């Protein structure tokens, strides 16, 4: 009877030990499976992370390329705009210069006609003289002639001042100053052949008129072209 109890106890202990071993084996298998699943997830997570990083890098590179392309395009557009602006400015300057030349040419024709009319007027008046005019009458005629040509000269000079480039007008200004001195000296010299006579002042004024007339034509033909 005692041996039967022992045998039963031994069998129960064996069964319990076997059940415990099975549970431990199942638990170990479960843990191993969980570990494998965790590692797989971890690997997948790393792969996803790397993929995201690569995708982000590619996106940044594309953005950089796009920005660079836009910058180059902007520079090209700016350069093109600057070239267009320069070309347009050159065209405007050329048109302005051509317009100025055309304007001076038109003015030249106008003033030549005016000078011709004044010259014809006094030539006709001179041809109608009899030769018996008094010194007073002769001087009055030359005074009027000089005043007319001097008025033309001042008008032509003012037009040139308004239309000529500054450097060219400065040169003309100095030239005109020297011319006036030369004209007056020539008139003085011409009148001295009648020094002390009644015709001295007539000759002085006539020479002034003749030289001023020639100067008017010279300025119009030289500078209004």
Query: Is 206 a member of any domain?
Result: yes
User: The domain that contains 143 carries what CATH number?
Assistant: 1.20.1270
Greatest mean pLDDT range, 6-10, 81-85, 98-102, 202-206:
202-206
The model's pLDDT over 59-116, given as tens digits with 9 standing for 90+, comes to: 555 655 555 555 555 555 555 555 555 556 556 555 555 555 556 667 899 999 999 9
The per-residue pLDDT of the chain, averaged, comes to: 76
Query: Is 94 a member of any domain?
Result: no
pLDDT at 29: 46
| Percent of the chain clearing pLDDT 90 (strictly above) | 51
146 vs 124: CA distance, rounded Å: 16
The model's pLDDT over 19-52, given as tens digits with 9 standing for 90+, comes to: 655 454 454 444 455 445 444 443 444 444 444 5
Query: Is 93 a member of any domain?
Result: no
User: ∠ at Cα 140 (137, 141), nearest 5°?
Assistant: 90
pLDDT at 106: 78
Query: Is 153 a member of any domain?
Result: yes
pLDDT at 107: 85
The more confident residue out of 30 and 141 is 141
pLDDT at 189 exceeding the cut of 70: yes
Q: What is the extent of the structural domain holding 111? A: 99-223
Rounded to two decimals, what is the model's pTM? Answer: 0.57
The model's pLDDT over 121-136, given as tens digits with 9 standing for 90+, comes to: 999 999 999 989 999 9
Query: Is 106 a member of any domain?
Result: yes
17 vs 137: CA distance, rounded Å: 164
pLDDT at 225: 81
Query: Is 60 a member of any domain?
Result: no
pLDDT at 118: 98
b/e burial code for range 66-91 (CB count within 10 A of at least 16 → b)? eeeeeeeeeeeeeeeeeeeeeeeeee
Query: Is 118 a member of any domain?
Result: yes
The more confident residue out of 164 and 38 is 164
pLDDT band at 221 (very low <50, low <70, confident <90, very high): very high
Query: Is 19 a member of any domain?
Result: no
The more confident residue out of 33 and 190 is 190
pLDDT at 98: 56
pLDDT at 49: 45
Domain count, the chain: 1
Spacing of C-alpha 91 from chain mean position:
10
């Amino acid at each position: 009877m005692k041996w039967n109890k022992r045998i039963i106890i031994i069998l129960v202990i064996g069964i319990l030990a076997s059940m415990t071993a099975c549970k431990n084996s199942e638990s170990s298998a479960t843990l191993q499976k969980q570990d494998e699943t965790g590692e797989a997830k971890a690997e997948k997570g790393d792969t996803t992370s790397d993929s995201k990083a690569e995708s982000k890098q590619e996106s940044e590179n594309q953005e950089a390329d796009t920005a660079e392309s836009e910058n180059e395009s902007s520079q090209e557009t700016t350069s093109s705009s600057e070239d267009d602006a320069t070309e347009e400015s050159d065209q405007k300057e050329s048109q302005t210069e051509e317009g100025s030349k055309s304007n001076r040419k038109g003015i030249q024709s106008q003033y030549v006609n005016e000078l011709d009319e004044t010259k014809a007027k006094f030539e006709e008046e001179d041809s109608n003289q009899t030769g018996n005019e008094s010194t007073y009458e002769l001087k009055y005629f030359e005074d009027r002639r000089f005043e007319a040509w001097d008025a033309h000269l001042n008008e032509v000079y003012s037009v040139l001042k308004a239309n000529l480039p500054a450097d060219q007008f400065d040169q003309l200004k100095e030239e005109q100053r020297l011319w006036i001195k030369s004209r007056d000296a020539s008139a003085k010299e011409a009148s001295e052949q009648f020094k002390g006579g009644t015709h001295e002042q007539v000759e002085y004024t006539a020479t002034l008129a003749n030289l001023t007339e020639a100067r008017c034509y010279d300025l119009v033909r030289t500078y209004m072209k």
